[in-house]
Structure formats: structure tokens, C-alpha cells
Chains A and B, each alone.
With several copies, the nearest count.
Chain A
Amino acid sequence: MIEVKILREDFPILQREINGYPLVYLDNAATTQKPNSVIDAMNDYYSNSNANVHRAVHTLAGEATEGYESCRRALKSRFNANKAIITSGTTEAINLVAHAWGRANLSDGDAIILTEMEHHSDIVPWQMLAQEMNIELRYVPVQKDLTLDMELFEAAIKGAKLVCVVHISNVLGVCNPVEKIVEIAKQNGARVLLDAAQSAPHQEINFEQIGADFMAFSAHKMCGPTGIGALLVNDESFDEMQPFMGGGDMIETVSIHGSTYQKNEQKFEAGTPRIAEAIGWTEAIKWLNSVDIKIEHKRILESARWLSGELRRMGMTVYGRHDDNDAAVVSFLHPTMNSEDLAHLLDARGFAVRTGHHCAQPLLDRLEISGTVRVSLYFYNTHDEVVSFVNYLEEILERFA
């Protein structure tokens, strides 16, 4: 086990001070920080190897192509997948499924199952598609215990063609029973899209073993750069996908009479790709590969559990349960104090938390609240940081509540 102190040294931003106080970054579900290896790799690319990829002869283009494709290999290997399409993030990956698979394989009157726990990025694309194609959307409700109502899911699955489910909720940290969901979906002939934006950073995921058809996630939430993400696809669903965006790199031939497309992932990667980003992401995956993710997860989950207890003791309402596979995310509300005010006061001493609807309004509607304060931990957070957060929160409440 690497000491967290040593692990922190990889992240230059953790030296930052805010208003004269050390940064305590507790907004990791929004985006994670980047280790030096990621920053340096992009730096090195731009300083030494920058070129456009594919179909070129010169040395730099070869290096850039190799760098870009190494990202795809790293993704396939870490997540055990046959096809990894590189996108600009989770959101584009889900939109890609809606356009490339949905529009080609769904039709008037079909049903898609979503859950009330979905992020907007896994709701709005389907609402838009539903409107266009007259498709029924069925939302699996979230129960009082913050889990999905699996009975209603089983009732809703009949006749559904696609199930879109978030692996780990970005508001609650709750990890959904995706193996069970895939099993039920498959029995009923439905495809499954996993929104793994929050799980990819926190778990070891075996895509093939889970048996989902699609899995979407973002680099920036797993120590990688902004502007890049991926969609993993199994072979069966990949073959059913039609091109989404058209342009350079995704074609085989173009004439004024029509075009033919590439056969592999590039078919869905139109235009100059995210080269520097892919090179950075490769390093982020290497960094994650080097971490004992189970031990680190357990450690920060313990901190989250402790934090939940302290917050409850202070009279807060905590939205989360923190089972073993849940993420170290703690959403809470003070009975009277405005959440944004609280976040401003926290920021005054360097504590970065997020407030608001976290892009999950349907979930908040179900919980009958309009937002939460969210603390989300990652592997470079220490228990000491969480303790100092609690101490300062108490000070705030004494002075302001």
C-alpha cells in the first residue's frame, strides 16, 4: 500500500493555497486532479511530437499516431473491452449511442428504460430521441433507501429495447446492481448502456464480464485531461451502429456520389482526434493501474462513512448509504442554512465542495429537495482533510447558523 502522503506528491495542484489556506479539494465527482505524469506527457507531446495522426509518413505523425492509439489499447486492456471509441466525454459517448445505435435500431413505439437516478447526460439524449422517434421512456423509481426499485424494473423491462443506467450515482454515491440489471435485461432481449462516469474512477471494471453492451465514461473524472472520454461497445452492438458524425478519418472513400466508411472504431471518430488528450489519458490509466484501487477505495470510503456520521451528529440530513461498493461521496443539507452560502464560507478557508442539483434534477425531485452540498473524495484525499473539514464546518455553524 502506497502511503497517501507519497501518492499526493504526484499531484502538483495539492500544493495550492486558497486565501492563504491549503487547498482541500473535495469536488472529485465533478472532476479529479491530474498527476504530474499526465501533465508532463501532454507537455512533452506539444513540445516534441505534435502532429496530426493517421495516414502520414513523417516521424512526428508516426509518434502522434502511436500515442493516440496507445490510449485505445490502454482502455481496452484496463476495462477488458474489444472496442473503445474515443469521444469528447461521457456526454458525447451517450449521445453517440442515441444517434449511432438508437436511431438505427429503435423504432416507433419502442421503450427505453432509464432510472430516476440518472445524470442529465443520460436523460436528455433519450428525451430528444424519444420525441423524434415516438419512443416511450420508463423511469425506474428510486426508493426511500436510495436504491432502485428492482421490482418495478422487472415489471418495466417487458418490451423494452434498451436500459440506460448509471453505475454509481454522482449525487448519492450509490452503486447500482449492474450485474443483476444486465441479467434481467438480457433475459428480455434488451441492450444495456452503463453510465460509468463515476464508477470508472473508483472500481476495477471488467466490461466483458459485466455483459453490458455500451459503457460511457470521461477521462477528466479519472485523473485524465478534459475534452476526452470513451464508449466501450461489444462486438454485436458495434456491428449495429451507423455512423454519427461525418468527416475526415472516419471514411474509407468519398466521392460526390457517396462515401464508404471505416470498419473499426475510427468510423465513429470524425475529424482530427483528441491527440494530446489521448496521450494524457494513457498516462492517467497507467497511474490508476499503479494504484491498489481496492485498498484506496476502502480507505476513502471509511472517511466518507465517518464524515456522514459527524454531519448527522451536527444535525445535517445526509443522502447516502455508503455500502462497500458505493463511492466516497457525501451529499448533505443543513436544515436552515443556504447551501451556496455554506460553500462560500467553506471556500474562504480553501475547502472546495459543490452545491446545486449536480445535473440530476429528477433524483432531487424524488428526494423533494432542490440541491445538496456534496463532498466527494478521491485517492489523494486524507482523513485529516476530512477531519479539518468537519472542524471548520462546526466553526461556521457556530458563527453563522
Chain B
Amino acid sequence: MNYSAELLELIEEFQDIDDKMERLEMVFDLADEVNLLPVEQWCDTTRVQGCQSEAHVKVEVLDSEVNFYAGADSKLVQGLMGILTMAIHGAKADLVLSLTPEFATEMGILNSLSPSRSNGFRNMFDKVMTEVKQQVD
């Protein structure tokens, strides 16, 4: 996989934590990494389906560089968005398109979450990928 150095470091950091609560704490902290999509811009096209909470994402590809904006009413979900931010924001579109949600599994965060939350992450990931692809094509 073509993980950025930053993402690789994050994966390792996560793997070092045994305690589930601490892992969740780290996810919470990453909520700050998100480039906030203002609540006024939340709408049907930005909504991530299948999330128990409200979760919204927006992608812009400028000069084949991905910009990622997001927001959620759950801090945990926003933390997941923070992780995705670190993985794709500012990265080249072709690099982004080579990603799979595997990296989140490797971090161990997906099995720290209820199935509905981890499905939510997958849905978010898929939505982002689809939109990147559309804007690249």
C-alpha cells in the first residue's frame, strides 16, 4: 500500500495501544484534524448514508490534489473523519484512489466500534472515493 509517512505513523501509534478506551480517546482527539464542513452546508448530497448519527462529507479535487471537508454530530465519527483527513487531505488524487479501507482495519479502530459505526466508516470511505473518481474523470 502507498501510505503516506504520516498515515503510517498513525497506524503504528494505534497498533501500540491495547486498551480500547485509550484507542477511542485517540480517535476523539483526531476530531480536531478535520477541516470542518460548516453545518449550514450539510445537506442530502453531503450526507453519509447508514450512519446512526448525522455525518457529512465534501470532496474537492484541485490541481489533482484532494481537499476533504467533513463534520458530524458525534465526536467519534468526526474522529474517524480526522483519520481520513490525515490519509487523503492534500494528497494526490491517484494516490488517494489507490487506498482501501484496509488501513483502518490495520489500525484496529474498526473492531473497536459497533458494526453500525464501522459500516458508517466504510460508507463514508466509499462516498469519498466515488466523488474523487467523478472529479478526476
A residues neighboring B (CB under 8 Å): 19, 55-58, 61-62, 65-66, 337-338, 340-341, 343-345, 347-349, 356, 399-400
Contact = CB atoms under 8 A, between A and B. Distances in A.
Nearest to A65: B115
B114 interface: yes
B114 A58 contact: yes
Interface string B103-123: 000000000111111000000
B24 interface: yes
Nearest to B73: A338
B96 interface: no
A57 B24 CA distance: 13
Interface string B20-41: 1100110010000000000000
Contact of A340 (B20, B28, B53): B53
B110 to A, nearest CB: 11
Contact of A344 (B19, B73, B76, B115): B76
B75 interface: yes
A276 to B, nearest CB: 18
Given A58-B114, A344-B114, A338 B53 contact: yes
Interface of B is mostly: helix
- Residue with the greatest number of chain A CB neighbours at <10 A, chosen from B21, B52, B76, B116: B21
B115 to A, nearest CB: 5
Contacts of B20: 19, 347-348
28 contacts: A19-B20, A19-B21, A55-B52, A56-B114, A56-B116, A57-B117, A61-B114, A62-B114, A338-B74, A340-B76, A340-B114, A340-B117, A341-B28, A341-B74, A344-B24, A344-B76, A344-B112, A344-B114, A344-B117, A345-B21, A345-B24, A347-B20, A348-B19, A348-B20, A348-B24, A356-B52, A400-B25, A400-B28
A345 B21 CA distance: 6
- Residue with the greatest number of chain A CB neighbours at <10 A, chosen from B25, B114, B116, B117: B114
Nearest to B120: A340
B111 to A, nearest CB: 9
- Residue with the greatest number of chain B CB neighbours at <10 A, chosen from A337, A338, A341: A341
B53 to A, nearest CB: 6
Contacts of A338: 53, 73-76
Contacts of B21: 19, 345, 348-349
A344 B76 CA distance: 9
